[in-house]
Amino acid sequence: MRPLVLLIMLCPLPVLAQDGPRGIAFVQAPEQGSGVAMGATPDAAFALAEAQCVASGARAEDCLRTTWCFPAGWTVDIFAQHREGPHWHEVTCGLPSRAVAEAVAHALCDPAERPYLIECLPVQIYDPEGTPHLSE
């Protein structure tokens, strides 16, 4: 090996920060609150989402980790309610575009596929950076 190449290999080089993909975490406290947050790791994102859940009025022990997606991609959160009363959120993430997220919501809420639902609608669509795209 040439001395110059060896010297370069042995010299410390600055570490470059990487802005890699981030994930999205969802937390639900049934009938109490929820939280959504982005993060580089599940622990980081869930900690932020759980803090939002508590800030929305839920008890910490009721804030359940429901969904983690890495990389986040486009994400759709739908609300569904069964004709017998129970209701819930369904999150689909890692999608390639907003159009696909909207198509997934449409498919999940298709009454021909799920006739037992009395209500089903997208409540939010998030872009890969976690920005919500539906008006509240």
The 10s digit of each residue's pLDDT in 27-48 is 999 889 999 999 999 999 999 9
- Domain containing 106 equals 73-136
Domain check: are 77 and 128 in the same one? yes
Is 109 among the domain residues? yes
Domain check: are 91 and 112 in the same one? yes
Residue partners of 41: CB distance under 8 A and separation at least 6: 23
| Interatomic CA distance for residues 26 and 52, integer angstroms | 10
Domain check: are 61 and 50 in the same one? yes
Q: Which two tokens stand for residue 94?
A: 């890692």
Residue 126 has pLDDT above 70, yes or no: yes
Quote the number of domains for the chain.
Answer: 2
Domain check: are 94 and 57 in the same one? no
For the chain, percent of residues with pLDDT exceeding 70: 85
Is 16 among the domain residues? no
Class of residue 11 by CB neighbours under 10 A (exposed 0-12, middle 13-18, buried 19+): exposed
| Interatomic CA distance for residues 46 and 52, integer angstroms | 10
**Average pLDDT value for residue range 74-95:** 95
Is 17 among the domain residues? no
Domain check: are 79 and 114 in the same one? yes
